Amino acid sequence: MDDGGLLAASAAGDAAAFEAFMRQYQPSVSRYLQTYTGSRDVDDAVQETFIAAWRGAGGYRGAASARAWLFTIARHSVHHLVRRRVDEPDDLLSVEQLAEQAGWGALPASGGDDPPWDGELLTLALQRLPADEREVLTLRELDGFSGDETAEVLHISVAAMKSRLHRARIHLAATVRALTGLPTHSEASHD
Q: Is the pLDDT of residue 98 over 80?
A: no
pTM here? 0.52
pLDDT in tens, 52-83: 999 999 999 888 899 999 999 998 888 877 66
pLDDT at position 128: 86
pLDDT grade for 114, boundaries at 50, 70 and 90:
very low
The segment(s) of the chain belonging to CATH 1.10.10.10 are 95-191
* CB-count exposure of residue 56 (10 Å: 0-12, 13-18, 19+): middle
Helices (H), 12-62: 15-37, 39-56
The answer to whether 117 and 104 have CB atoms below 8 angstroms apart is: no
Q: Is the pLDDT of residue 38 over 80?
A: no
pLDDT at position 97: 52
The segment(s) of the chain belonging to CATH 1.10.1740.10 are 1-92
pLDDT grade for 184, boundaries at 50, 70 and 90:
low
Q: Assign domain 1-92 one CATH number from 1.10.3720.10, 3.40.190.10, 1.10.10.10, 1.10.1740.10.
A: 1.10.1740.10
Q: Is the pLDDT of residue 93 over 50?
A: no
pLDDT at position 90: 42
* Cα-to-chain-centroid distance, residue 158: 16
Lowest mean pLDDT among 25-34, 72-81, 99-108, 164-173: 99-108
Q: Assign domain 95-191 one CATH number from 1.10.10.10, 3.40.190.10, 1.10.3720.10, 3.90.1300.10.
A: 1.10.10.10
pLDDT at position 103: 46
pLDDT at position 113: 45
**Distance (Å, whole) CA 144 – CA 12:** 30
pLDDT in tens, 129-181: 898 998 898 888 877 888 899 999 999 998 899 889 888 888 887 887 787 77
Q: Which helix (H) or strand (E) holds 121?
A: helix 119-128
pLDDT at position 88: 40
pLDDT at position 22: 95
pLDDT at position 167: 87
